[in-house]
Amino acid sequence: MIRTEELLLNVGPQHPSTHGVFRIIVKIDGEVITEAIPVMGYLHRGTEKLAESLNYTQIIPYTDRMDYVSAMTSNYVLVHAVETMMNLEIPERAQYLRLVVMELQRVASHLVWWGTYLLDIGAMTPFLYAFRDREKIIDMFNELCGARLTYNYMRVGGVKWDAPVGWIDKVREFIPYMRKNLEEFHNLVSGNEIFLARIKGIGKYDAQTAIDYGLSGANLRSAGVKWDLRKDQPYSIYDRFDFDIPVGVNGDCYDRYVIRMEEIRQSLRILEQAMAQFPTDGDIMGKVPRIIRPPEGEVYVRIESPRGEIGCHIVSRGKAEPYRLKFRRPSFVNLQILPKLLVGETMTNLVTILGGIDIVVGEVDA
Amino acid sequence: MSEDQDKNPEATGKVEVTDEGKATPTEQTVEKIKEIQATDPSIQTTSEPSDAPAAEIQEDVDAEKEAKLKANREARAARDAARAEAAKLKAAEAAGVAGATGAAKAVEGDATEPEQPKAPSPNQPKLDRIVQIIKESIGEQAVVEAYINEKDRELPCLIIDKNHWLETALLLRDNPELELHYLRNVSGTDQETHMEVAYYLINLNNKQDYFIKVKTDRDGGEIPSVTSVWQTANWNEREIYDLLGVNFSDHPDLRRIMMPDDWVGYPLRKDYEPIDPEV
Amino acid sequence: MEDFLQKTLGWGNFTIFAISAIAMLLISLGFVTYFIYFERKVIGWMQFRIGPNRTGPLGLLQSVADVAKLLMKEDTIPKKADKALFILAPVITYVPSFMVLAVIPYSETLYFTDLNVGLLYYIALSGISTIGIVLGGWASNNKYALLGGMRSAAQMVSYEIPLVISVTGVIMISGSLNLRMIAMGQEGWFWHWNIVPQILGFVIFTIAAIAELNRTPFDLPEAESELISGYHVEYSGFRFAFFMLSEYTYVYAIAALTTVLFLGGWYAPAPFLDFIPGLIWFFAKFAFVVFFLFWIRATLPRIRIDQLMSLGWKWLLPLSLLNLFLTAIYMEIFR
């Protein structure tokens, strides 16, 4: 009589496909997962605790390190929260600069996702294609604020640096360039039979489940829920732009893939319109008190980061430091559905599903 | 750190701008702020951290706490006055625009006296309605307090009694009028006198959102877990348990999530003392 | 070469055999070294990179440096590993990969054996390497390695069958298992090559061969992104090098085998091009097959294990059987 035994396998904390120090304890029967327990906290730096003894400007660099693939949006959510509390007016040029960097960041972030996702699935070349184009964006950011990953670019009331001469033209040139390359990406990958067989129908959930688990971003939209904060609860100046929100049908990894690819295109559309409207000059900092002390009270702002709804909940007691600062990190919330999706899948699909959720461990652990 | 260095000139630049902006009407208040800053070094430390490293602040915390609190109160009062002035100025500038005047009024009302009657919020009917629904279905005692959070997009805010929280949560999710099926954020706060857990709920179809608070005791306080109502709450509650020590009864898997399993204490509590104060 | 093989074995002959075997080993090692170099270069170009260019002129010494590094590395054996098997596994994997090279003819005159069951010999020996991989995975006492080893066993068993059956078509046409005879049967124009009548067999053979080589898109046993690096995750230093070496030696062997079986061996595509030596033609075709493998690797993602199985059993096996029947009908009509 042959007896099969379940194998307890530690995926992570050091594993190429967990995209950071993240661990999943999986019970496998052959290659089929019977149980999955995510373990996190390896990258927990206590951002929220640290923030309580720092003033708001000092917290901005910490937000960079949360979602390090999309630092601009993390920057923005904090300054946006403080600005909402203080009822500050942001100069037009700063608004546009913020929007442009956030949309560029979305493109860059989705490119990283695209590349690493294909790498997870076993194709190496797309990764380098994606990074070639992301590099262009990173270079632009570097020129703008002197950093390639942790920008520390936004400030309460505006942005730290004005666009250097010729920078806007570079963004203008980038849009058609990226459009062309996006076509190339589709030609290279999107129709590949092996790739489609790997992601179609994998990691499926319906809209009800997605909402119940509080998923956001492409994870929510893939299940057919049309919910994009840029459209549904507009912040910044998104209401001035015309763009579409791609929505999936099946809620599987393929839909998430298609949505993210389409979001790149839509971001380019937004950028194109922003370039046309971009104010030629103006202030980049609004009128901000010397010491930033939001009034007593609390506020929760939320924006659409490339990974979903990133929120910032500030409880202020009228001091220069927040009394309590809580970030709603989309990666953390989206990851909750993972154990549910993994049961009954193979080891290979673990990588596909985890990659499809698109987490950044810095953000999961904060 | 570099951001500290580049923060300084920026801050000074900002002050100039601000001073110029409201030079005539608020000269006095600006003077006052400056005066407070000059007299009390603790303000300086809090506002300009590049002058004093964080460790130093922490060491002096106990000694300076009282003075700081006092100074902060003063500063706040001064700043509120300044804001009222600024708002008035703004209102005067944008006299033609009705919306701007309204906003300025709201700020002004907030700054002067909370008891003063202010223009009813556009969300007031929403708030009244949700309170009514809860009170009808659960009972009068379920809603402890209901108000509008002006700072946060006039968000209707409810404080729910923790003993009624689970049934209220179910009601909020299932009531055909509310259908708050999406829990977007859960965050816990140590309010020093009590623990507070805030839930941000939204209905994705009609985009109505609400802000619910549940309070509990600091020591051994329990709040019913709403994981069975919204799956989102699962890890969020674990995080709050881990960092703030709020117990969620009937949580399916209440373990530490961020800190190591053998960690002692709850780091986000205000009275938490790190093992090594230098760290 | 034939004369040597026909002579009775004396000391002189034995020495010559031994020397040529060692020469062959060195050639294959040199090939592997530069195969890796070219793989990195070619894939680098495909990916907008430069590839190795620091060690030696044009980076030519990069692989040499890598091998030197692997040789000098500390030899680690996990404490709980099955020591004997752990040491044996790379050897079992490598030896057959080198042994199969014996039957490959390079030109009309340059060959090392004239075995009349050459093809059978090749397939039989290459199957042994699988045992080495499974053993390595098992002996490491590592769960990832074990999974990799298991995958490898499943994959090899599944793809050996369509591989053999797809080659049977070629055997039927040429009427021999001797690789020299098979190559000689393809003399003439390029449409006399086996690839033309055996196009279906060729496609099946290529797919199954890539699977046998554990290369993308069938690199499941090592699957970097899932199983870290599969069966050789615990190996380092020269033991690891042996796994690498056998993998690349098999690439050499499979590329040569494809050339001989389907691409007309050392024959020029047209008779009037005969003035170019057969050896050059052989290596040109061989290089093309190798390049094709790089190309595949740079383009395709990895297939999933259950898809691999269903592809092998549900598609390749029936198709290879169909190919057998079609070949029989073809032969009945045209001969």
Chain A residues lying within 8 Å of B72, measured CB to CB: 318-319
Q: Do C147 and A31 touch (CB under 8 A)?
A: yes
| Confidence grade of residue B52 (pLDDT, cut at 50, 70, 90) | very low
Q: Do C226 and A350 touch (CB under 8 A)?
A: yes
Q: Which amino acid is at A25?
A: I
Host H or E run for residue A106:
helix A92-121
Nearest CA in chain C to A350: C226
CA distance A303 to chain B (A): 12
Q: Are C299 and A123 a contacting pair, CB within 8 Å?
A: yes
Of residues B228 and A5, the one with the higher pLDDT is B228
**Cα separation, A311 vs B198, whole angstroms:** 13
Best of A5, A348, A351 to substitute, by most chain C Cβ atoms within 10 angstroms, is A348
CA distance C126 to chain A (A): 25
Give SS3 for C161.
Answer: helix
Q: Are B47 and B40 a contacting pair, CB within 8 Å?
A: no
pLDDT in tens, chain A (366 residues): 677 778 888 887 888 877 878 888 988 887 788 888 888 888 888 888 888 888 888 899 998 888 888 888 999 999 998 888 888 888 888 888 889 999 999 999 999 999 999 888 888 888 889 998 999 999 999 998 888 888 888 888 888 888 888 888 888 899 999 999 999 888 888 888 888 888 888 888 888 888 888 888 889 889 888 888 888 888 888 888 888 889 988 888 899 999 999 999 999 999 989 888 888 888 888 888 888 888 888 888 889 989 888 989 988 888 888 888 889 889 899 888 988 888 888 888 888 888 888 888 888 887
Q: Which amino acid is at C144?
A: Y
Whether pLDDT at C328 is above 50:
yes
Q: Are A218 and B236 a contacting pair, CB within 8 Å?
A: no
| Angle at B57 (CA atoms; ends B56, B61), nearest 5 degrees | 120
In this complex, is the C-beta atom of B279 within 8 Å of any C-beta atom belonging to chain A?
no
Best of B258, B273, B278 to substitute, by most chain A Cβ atoms within 10 angstroms, is B258
For the residues B137-163, what does the mean pLDDT come to?
A: 81
Q: Which of C117, C191, C130, C186 is nearest to C160 (CA)?
A: C130
Task: Name, in order, each residue with C-beta under 8 angstroms of C203's C-beta and a sequence gap of 6 or more.
Answer: none
In this complex, is the C-beta atom of B55 within 8 Å of any C-beta atom belonging to chain A?
no
Q: Which of A352, A365, A310, A353 is nearest to A122 (CA)?
A: A352
Whether pLDDT at C37 is above 50:
yes
Q: Is the peptide bond before B274 cis (omega within 30 degrees of 0)?
A: no
Per the listing, tokens 């008190």 go with A289
Which of B18, B235, B268 has the CB atom closest to A290's CB atom?
B18
Q: Which residues pair with B199 in a beta bridge?
A: B186, B212
Best of A227, A333, A338 to substitute, by most chain B Cβ atoms within 10 angstroms, is A333
Which of A121, A128, A350 has the CB atom closest to C302's CB atom?
A121
| Six-digit token string for B26 | 């608020």
A partners (3+ CB pairs within 8 A) are: B, C
Chain A residues lying within 8 Å of C298, measured CB to CB: 124-125
C partners (3+ CB pairs within 8 A) are: A
pLDDT of residue B76: 61
| Angle at B35 (CA atoms; ends B34, B38), nearest 5 degrees | 85
Task: Name, in order, each residue with C-beta under 8 angstroms of B219's C-beta and a sequence gap of 6 or more.
Answer: none
Hey, CA dihedral for A20, A24, A30, A31, is it positive or negative? negative
**Cα separation, C300 vs A125, whole angstroms:** 9
Give SS3 for A346.
Answer: strand
Pairing of strands A154-155, B182-190: unpaired
In this complex, is the C-beta atom of A192 within 8 Å of any C-beta atom belonging to chain C?
yes
Chain A residues lying within 8 Å of B256, measured CB to CB: 41
Task: Name, in order, each residue with C-beta under 8 angstroms of C6's C-beta and a sequence gap of 6 or more.
Answer: none
Which of B155, B181, B188 has the CB atom closest to A211's CB atom?
B181
**Cα separation, A113 vs B120, whole angstroms:** 46
Q: How many CA atoms lie within 13 A of C318 on its CB side?
A: 5
Instruction: Phi first, then psi: give them for residue A34, nearest 5 degrees.
Output: -100, -25
Per the listing, tokens 């590094």 go with C69
Q: What Cα–Cα distance (Å) separates residue A243 from each residue in A185, A218, A236, A265, A273? A: 21, 16, 15, 10, 10
Q: How many CB atoms lie within 10 A of CB A176?
A: 11
Q: Are C219 and C302 a contacting pair, CB within 8 Å?
A: yes
Pairing of strands B222-224, B155-160: unpaired
For the residues C215-235, what does the mean pLDDT come to?
A: 77
Question: Environment class of residue C293 by beta-carbon count within 10 Å: exposed (0-12), middle (13-18) or buried (19+)?
Answer: buried
Q: What is the CA radius of gyration of chain A?
A: 21
Of residues B51 and A365, the one with the higher pLDDT is A365
Q: Are C94 and C246 a contacting pair, CB within 8 Å?
A: yes
Host H or E run for residue A15:
none
In this complex, is the C-beta atom of A246 within 8 Å of any C-beta atom belonging to chain B?
no
Task: Name, in order, each residue with C-beta under 8 angstroms of C280's C-beta and a sequence gap of 6 or more.
Answer: none
Question: 28-87 in A: which are within 8 Å (CB) of B?
Answer: 40-41, 44, 46, 48-49, 52-55, 57-58, 60-61, 84-85, 87
Q: Do B267 and A53 touch (CB under 8 A)?
A: no
Q: Do C48 and A128 touch (CB under 8 A)?
A: yes
**Cα separation, B98 vs B239, whole angstroms:** 44
Chain C residues lying within 8 Å of A17, measured CB to CB: 225-226
Give SS3 for A265.
Answer: helix
Of residues A98 and B85, the one with the higher pLDDT is A98
Pairing of strands B209-216, B195-202: antiparallel
For the residues C211-236, what does the mean pLDDT come to?
A: 79
| Confidence grade of residue C105 (pLDDT, cut at 50, 70, 90) | confident
Helical spans, DSSP H, in B113-253? 124-137, 165-174, 233-244
**Cα separation, A81 vs A88, whole angstroms:** 10
pLDDT of residue C1: 57
**Cα separation, B185 vs B226, whole angstroms:** 13
Residues in chain A: 366
**Cα separation, A78 vs B66, whole angstroms:** 29
| A227-236, B127-136, C216-225, C260-269: the lowest-pLDDT one | C216-225
In this complex, is the C-beta atom of B50 within 8 Å of any C-beta atom belonging to chain A?
no
Start-to-end CA distance of chain C, whole Å, equals 33
Pairing of strands B155-160, B143-149: antiparallel
| A72-81, B150-159, C221-230, C314-323: the lowest-pLDDT one | C221-230
For the residues C217-230, what does the mean pLDDT come to?
A: 75
CA C42 to chain centre: 19
Q: Which amino acid is at B253?
A: D
Nearest CA in chain B to A363: B258
Q: Are A206 and A144 a contacting pair, CB within 8 Å?
A: no
Q: Do A58 and B14 touch (CB under 8 A)?
A: no
Q: How many CB atoms lie within 10 A of CB B115?
A: 6
Chain C residues lying within 8 Å of A187, measured CB to CB: none
Q: Do A48 and B243 touch (CB under 8 A)?
A: yes
Q: Are A194 and C301 a contacting pair, CB within 8 Å?
A: yes
Q: What is the CA radius of gyration of chain C?
A: 20
Q: Which residues pair with A311 in a beta bridge?
A: A302, A328
**Cα separation, B246 vs B254, whole angstroms:** 10
DSSP assignment of C258-318, as one string?
HHHHHS-TT--SSGGGGGS-HHHHHHHHHHHHHHHHHHHHHH--PPPHHHHHHIIIIIIHH
pLDDT of residue B38: 47
Which of C48, C227, C298 has the CB atom closest to A132's CB atom?
C48
Hey, CA dihedral for A351, A203, A356, A117, is it positive or negative? positive
**Cα separation, A226 vs B60, whole angstroms:** 52
| A317-326, B108-117, C69-78: the lowest-pLDDT one | B108-117
Whether pLDDT at B248 is above 70:
yes
Q: Are C151 and C220 a contacting pair, CB within 8 Å?
A: yes
